[in-house]
């Protein structure tokens, strides 16, 4: 089971007039020791990448069918795969190898490109998280 990754965003209170905020982001810290095998959500990773404190190495978009069997491409699921995620923390970089990608998986555990060979569409598993392994 993946252990939790607890992050703390630190406000840059040195800039501005010292009022109640909002302050710009000074950076992030991982609370406690970096966990060995966290499974952060794509929401957290996307926000960190947008804000600049996460770097996706080897990122590539993947699109999977999300519609019904008769019209599988009526809807799509878009995922961003990566080889590694680097957390740019105030205490230094923490690098994780991606061992499980966010994606849509069939009953055989393989990513779903089409529904032709899948009898039970309910058996598909959409994963909106990364499975990570701490490096170093």
Answer yes or no: is 19 within a domain: no
Residue 17 placed within a domain: no
CB atoms within 10 A of CB 38: 21
Q: Could you give the number of structural domains in the chain? A: 1
pLDDT tens sequence across 3-41: 689 999 998 887 666 667 678 889 999 999 999 999 999
pLDDT tens sequence across 46-60: 999 999 999 999 999
Instruction: Please give the residue that has the higher pLDDT: either 136 or 2.
Output: 136
Between the CA of residue 45 and those of 3, 33, 55, 87, what are the distances in Å?
A: 16, 19, 9, 9
The confidence band for 136, taking pLDDT boundaries of 50, 70 and 90, is confident
Predicted TM-score (pTM) of the model is 0.86
Q: Give pLDDT, residue 122.
A: 67
pLDDT digits (tens, 9 = 90+) for 75-119: 899 999 999 999 999 999 999 999 999 999 988 888 887 666 566
Residue 44 counted as domain residue: yes
Residue 14 lies in a domain: no
Look at residue 59 and tell me if it is in a domain: yes
Query: Are 27 and 41 within 8 A, CB to CB?
Result: no
The length of the chain is 136
Task: Please check whether residue 77 lies inside any domain of the structure.
Answer: yes
Identify the pLDDT of residue 13: 80
- Considering the domain boundaries, does residue 75 fall inside one? yes
Q: Is residue 126 part of a domain?
A: yes
Quick one: pLDDT at residue 128?
96
Residue-number span of the structural domain to which 93 is assigned: 35-134
Instruction: Give, in order, the Cα–Cα distances in Å from 116 to each of 57, 64, 111.
Output: 33, 13, 13
Cβ proximity of 45 and 54 under 8 Å? yes
SS3 74: helix
d(CA 132, CA 3): 10
């Amino acid at each position: 089971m993946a252990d939790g990754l607890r992050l703390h965003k630190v406000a840059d209170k040195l800039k501005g007039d010292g009022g109640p905020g909002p302050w710009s982001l000074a950076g992030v810290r991982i609370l406690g020791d970096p966990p060995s095998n966290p499974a952060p959500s794509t929401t957290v990773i996307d926000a960190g990448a947008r804000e600049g404190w996460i770097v996706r190495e080897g990122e590539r978009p993947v699109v999977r069918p999300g519609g019904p069997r008769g019209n599988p491409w009526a809807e799509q699921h878009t995922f961003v795969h990566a080889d590694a995620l680097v957390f740019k923390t105030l205490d230094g970089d923490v690098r994780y190898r991606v061992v499980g990608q966010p994606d849509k998986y069939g009953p055989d555990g393989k990513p779903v490109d089409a529904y032709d060979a899948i009898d039970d569409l309910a058996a598909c598993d959409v994963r909106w998280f990364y499975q990570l392994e701490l490096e170093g």
